[in-house]
């Protein structure tokens, strides 16, 4: 049994962490913090926890938490984690950061895309990018894990085998992704209120979304060359879920069986990645509430392009579930521990 804490426990990703950790057989959830609700019972903030989670929300004291806990999850906006983390904290406990501060390897890339100064570049150098299926060995020995973004998790996993095996032209990649509104967080924003979102779909942050360099970083490392791609996110009127439709030119006259072999090479033993059958494509309803990433593809011989569709729950595999999967790897637990549930349908 390990002791865990969540900083920022009342946001959407934080509350999903609390839900998963509450049911994890190897974890004692000993500390949850909130600026807005400190002193309140967690079940007073989220009524669905009534009779189940009576832990009191505390004011944050990461130094004390680091002495008392085995792992701390940070569910905070970008720019905040790098202010809190230092060498003394990492000597005492493990950190899993759900924010963006430690995801990008290059300091100038982070600061230019996020328009904020990074406060501990020396720790940035040792942070492990926590995309579990790709960096499992590095995660095992990490002190600080940068939990990937939601769009990035779906997009990278969807394209990785094609890039790694050299099956597509890397300068032809286009990603069209759509997310539920929880991806924008729980803070009040007029663009995300019901009347603004319902009965509409919109593209946003075109050619400027901050997950773009994350996707380029990981796919560039996989391919061995610098990849620059188009990534366009859309907001759809649903609570949760992401679907990424990825396009690229095929090389080597690859057939369906060749592409399938590439995906099976990397994912056949990955429990949380499910490859769909031929001509069946992922839907967000089949992954909602689960840690699964579903992937399907189609070759368009008329245009010599491949279309890959990936789907995840943005709050689970795209945030809290992947964070717990990282924790499981870090502490030597079965990766399925606390995460082996089937999506509820209909919901």
Active site residues: 150
Query: Residue 86 has which token pair?
Result: 């230092």
Strand order through the sheet with 273-275: 202-203, 230-235, 174-179, 242-249, 305-312, 293-300, 273-275
* Helix (H) or strand (E) segment spanning residue 42: helix 42-45
Where b means 16+ CB within 10 Å and e means fewer, 21-48 reads beebebbebebbbbeebeeeebeebbee
Mapping DSSP to helix (H, G, I), strand (E, B) and coil, where does residue 213 land? helix
Alpha-carbon span 320 to 289, nearest angstrom: 11
8 A C-beta contact, residue 17 and residue 71: no
Query: Residue 147 has which token pair?
Result: 């939990």
Alpha-carbon span 273 to 265, nearest angstrom: 12
8 A C-beta contact, residue 236 and residue 201: yes
């Amino acid at each position: 049994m390990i002791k865990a804490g969540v900083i920022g426990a009342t946001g959407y990703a934080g509350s999903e962490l609390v839900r998963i950790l509450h049911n994890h057989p190897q974890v004692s959830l000993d500390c949850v913090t909130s600026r807005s609700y400190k002193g309140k019972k967690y079940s007073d903030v989220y009524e669905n926890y009534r009779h189940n989670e009576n832990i009191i929300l505390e004011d944050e004291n990461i130094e004390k938490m680091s002495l008392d806990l085995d792992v701390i999850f940070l569910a905070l906006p970008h720019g905040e984690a790098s202010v809190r983390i230092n060498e003394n904290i990492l000597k005492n406990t493990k950190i899993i950061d759900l924010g963006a501060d430690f995801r990008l390897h290059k300091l100038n890339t982070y600061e230019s895309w996020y328009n904020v100064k990074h406060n501990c570049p020396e720790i940035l150098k040792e942070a492990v990018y926590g995309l579990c299926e790709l960096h499992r060995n590095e995660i095992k020995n990490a002190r600080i894990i940068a939990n990937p973004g939601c769009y990035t998790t779906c997009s990278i996993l969807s394209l990785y085998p094609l890039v790694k095996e050299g099956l597509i032209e890397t300068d032809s990649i286009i990603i069209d992704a759509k997310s539920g509104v929880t991806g924008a967080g729980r803070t009040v924003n007029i663009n995300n209120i019901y009347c603004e979102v319902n009965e509409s779909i919109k593209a946003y942050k075109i050619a400027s979304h901050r997950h773009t360099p994350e996707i380029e970083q990981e796919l560039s490392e996989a391919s061995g060359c610098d990849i620059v791609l188009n990534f366009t996110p859309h907001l759809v009127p649903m609570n949760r879920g992401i679907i990424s439709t990825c396009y690229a030119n095929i090389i080597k006259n690859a057939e369906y069986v060749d592409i399938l072999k590439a995906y099976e090479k990397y994912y056949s033993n990955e429990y949380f990645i499910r490859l769909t059958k031929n001509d069946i494509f992922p839907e967000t309803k089949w992954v909602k509430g689960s840690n699964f990433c579903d992937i399907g593809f189609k070759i368009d011989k008329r245009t010599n392009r491949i279309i890959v569709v990936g789907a995840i729950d943005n709050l689970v595999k795209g945030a809290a579930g992947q964070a717990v999967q990282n924790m499981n790897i870090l502490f030597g637990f079965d990766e399925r521990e606390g995460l082996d549930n089937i999506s509820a349908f209909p919901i």
